[in-house]
Structures are given as structure tokens and as C-alpha cells.
Amino acid sequence: MGKLKKREKPARKLRGLRKRWMLNTLAVVCALGLVCALAVTATFAAYYYSNLESDMRRRAEETTEFFEDYLDQDYDGYYQSCITYAQTFEERNSLELQFIDGEGQLVVSSYGQWAGATPTTSDIAEAMSTRGICTYVGSDPDTGERIIAVSSPMIYSNGEVIGVLRYVTSTRIMDQQVLQVALLCALALMVVVVVLLISSSYYIRSILVPVAEITEKAKMIASGSYGTQIQTKYDDEIADLAQTVNELSAKINQNEMMQSEFISSLSHELRTPLTAINGWSETLLFDDRLDEQTRRGMKIIHRETQRLTEMVIELLDFTRIQDGRFTLNVEEQVDIRGEFEDTVYMYGSRLAQDGIRLEYLYSEEDIPEISCDPKRLRQVFLNILDNAAKHGGEGQKIEATMTLQGGDVVVSIRDHGPGIPEDELPLVKKKFYKGSSKARGTGIGLAVCDEIVQLHGGSLDLENAPGGGTLVTVRLPVER
């Protein structure tokens, strides 16, 4: 059937793998990049702060040693020396020098005598109490500015701590340098991510596009387009997969051809003896000399021969569908209601012999004539009615109706049997599928009917009817 239908090429979708690849790769790279950026920034910050602190401690130590030469002076002479040194301090633009007395009061600053408020950071008191150089890194309590301060105790000759020499500098320039390093790391990370996106996109496309093509062709093969081949550009694992699918497709196509040829040959071979058996059984039934038991046997032979003949016709139709030789003999302006009613009344009398009532629900609406192949549509109606009798006959009732819905003639046939299991509904129109049913048949009748209806531009649908049973709906367009 697949060869007669024009298949639409499905939109290519690269789902799942691309998304997972991108998310996982980007997540790992971004996480590693962020860790590296933070590590580099922290290293640079620690390096800058450590160097600055070491330099200030060295300065404080050297300056303290320098002032030891003045510690034999009186306090006034000592503080005057401090003021003079602070006023001549050459690096005042980048570093502030402070002298603080033993009570923590600012004596002089390189920014000017008694410049600013007396500092209150912890390094001052700690330097006085520990008699060692102490450091403070943090915010200035008065201005809120981040600073580094180094305090060195000034110890008088009698061992008394008479003050503190303190160096102070802002970390603003250093923080800006650390920020620049962080921005450079972020920029480098963005460049790596962009390069990764471009390279990954190309790499993923080189994998997923062939995989999508293989998936698409595999779906076509699964739906009946046997023999479909996949073309590949590379000699890799994907090419091996494509070659395997190609071999599978070729073998399935070969098996299908052998199967079709066998069915066609067998069907033709069976028609000749069946025709002879059917003809002679009819002839013998007209013989009045037959006793009742022999006549009953001849009727069984005649009925079963007709059933086999119908199966052979189905098989021949199926092989024509498979190799594209199945055609319609379309007639203009066919009374489709008349064709349907004749089929219902003819088959109804046959079902009555088996105790099944076929009820025709007449619709008052006008059913227009349509262009169709009446012989093929009668075949469809008979097959659906026969299926309703075989699979739903225990309900003892079959309902048939024809209505006009929009631009379609709708034929509905319902039985009152057990219905079809929900998991089998999508499969019942597939060739050779019989499901869990134990009824006789080849399993290709509905497949042939579905093809006939589709060639008429219509549709054939099966569903479980409310209240039980199976409902078969055939839609045929009024205008094609």
C-alpha cells in the first residue's frame, strides 16, 4: 500500500540529544570556567594584597628603626621630629604616614598636621598591646573606604610604648586592578563558550543530521516503503548504522517481493480448481436424484468454495496493491445509496440464516450521486459487514446507516459484539493483522478496504461504540 501513497517528508527534528549535549557541555565548561576565573581573580587579589601589605610592613619597620635614634630626646623634641618627617614624606600621594601618641590620639599626618579624625582601627591598640607590627585590612570606620593600615609601636628607651607609627593606603586602585583581572577572565570564558558553541554545533550537526535522516528513512521503511536506501557522506560508525539499515531494507523488500509473487502465483493457481469445484457443485445441486445428506454436503462444499474464492480475490487485490497495479474503474454519477442498500439487503438475507439481524437505519436526507468505482465500494461494504458478522455476531444484531455530513457521504456499520481491545485499534487495518480474534480470515480484508477508500479520497475508521460493539465509519467525499 505504501507505494500508492504520496508520503509527505516529515520535518527534520534534532531533538533531545542536541539539547542534552549543549546543556551538559555548557554547564561543565561554564562551571569549570567560573571556578578558574574565581581562582585566578582570588590569586591575583591575594598576590596584590600580600605584596602591598609586605611592602607597608617593611616600610613601617624601617621607619621605626630610623626613629629609634631620636628616642633619647624629650617628648617635645621627639614629636617635633615626627612632624618634620611627616611634612617631608615624599610618597604622600599614594601612602599616608601617621604618628599616634600613647593614648591613641593622632599627632601628625603626612596629609597635614592633625589631618582628619583620630583613627580607631584595631591595628593601633593591638600594636601597643603586643609591641609588634600589626595590620588592618577592611573598611575605614569613619569614611567607609576600604584600606590597608600597618601600625608599628614606638618604644621609648625606658621600655614604654609612647606611640604608634602607622602607614595607611586605600585599596581602590588595587581593587580596580583585581576587577580588571576578573573582567578579563570573564571575557576569556565568554570567548571559550562561543568557540565551544560553534564547534559543538558543527560537531552535533555532523552527528544528528545523519541520525535524523536514518530515523526518517527507518520510519518510511516501517510504514511500508521497503527498499528505501540511506545515503551517507562519511565512513564512520553512523555510516555503518546506515549500511545496516540499508541491508535490512533491501532484505525486507526482497522478502516482500517474494511473498507477493508467491501469493499472486498461488492465487492464480487456486482460481482454476476453485472455479471448477464451484461450477460442478452448482451443477450437482440441481440434480434431483441427490439424497438429503449428499445435498447437504454439496451445499457445504459450494459455500466453502465461495469463501475460498473470496479469499483468493482478496489476495489478488492485495498483491496488486503491493506492486502498484491496483486501479479503480471510476464511473460518473453513481447512486451510492442504491449500491449500499442493495448490499445490505443482499447480505442481510444471508445473515438471517445464521440468526443475525441486519438492521438498516434509513436516513431521510437526500444522498447525492458521486463519482466512484461501485464494484470496489460494494466490496468494501460486504467486507465490513462480513467482519461485523464474524467478530460481533454474538450480539445477534448489526446496524447500518448512510448519512450526509458536510461534503461527505458517511457510511456507519456497528455490531453489538465484544468490541476491539484498545491496544489493537491502531493495528487492525494493517495487513495480515488479526490480533486476539479467533475468527477465520486472512487479515488483509480491512487493509484492502482501507486502500480502496483512500483511493476514493475518503477515510475508513474503527472505534469501540458507546455501550459495546465496534463502529466502522467510511467517509467518501461528494466532490473529488
CATH number at residue 383: 3.30.565.10
User: 192 lies in a domain?
Assistant: no
Are β-strands 397-405 and 357-361 bridged in parallel, bridged antiparallel, or unpaired?
A: parallel
pLDDT at 150: 93
User: 212 lies in a domain?
Assistant: no
Query: Which residues of the chain, if any, have pLDDT below 50?
Result: 1-14
pLDDT at 9: 43
User: 53 lies in a domain?
Assistant: yes
Residues 157, 52 share a domain: yes
Place of cell 447480505: 347
Domain range for 100 is 22-177
Residues 134, 243 share a domain: no
Residues 302, 342 share a domain: no
User: 16 lies in a domain?
Assistant: no
**Total domain count, the chain:** 3
CATH of the domain at 135: 3.30.450.20
Amino acid at 441: G
Instruction: Using alpha carbons, list the distances in angstroms from residue 51 to 17, 43, 46, 48, 136.
Output: 50, 12, 8, 5, 14
Among the candidates 303, 322, 341, a domain finishes at: 322
Residues 307, 161 share a domain: no
Among the candidates 161, 177, 193, a domain finishes at: 177
Residues linked to residue 248 through DSSP beta bridges, in sequence order:
none
Kindly report the pTM of this predicted structure.
0.48
Residues 295, 157 share a domain: no
Residues 171, 40 share a domain: yes
Residues 171, 26 share a domain: yes
Residues 385, 291 share a domain: no
User: 7 lies in a domain?
Assistant: no
User: 3 lies in a domain?
Assistant: no
User: 184 lies in a domain?
Assistant: no
List pLDDT tens digits, range 14-69.
Answer: 456 667 777 777 788 888 888 888 898 888 888 888 998 899 999 888 888 887 76
Is residue 278 within 8 Å of 309, Cβ to Cβ?
yes
Residues 340, 257 share a domain: no
3 state DSSP class of 417? coil
Residues 130, 266 share a domain: no
Among the candidates 322, 339, 356, a domain finishes at: 322
Place of cell 601628625: 108
User: 167 lies in a domain?
Assistant: yes
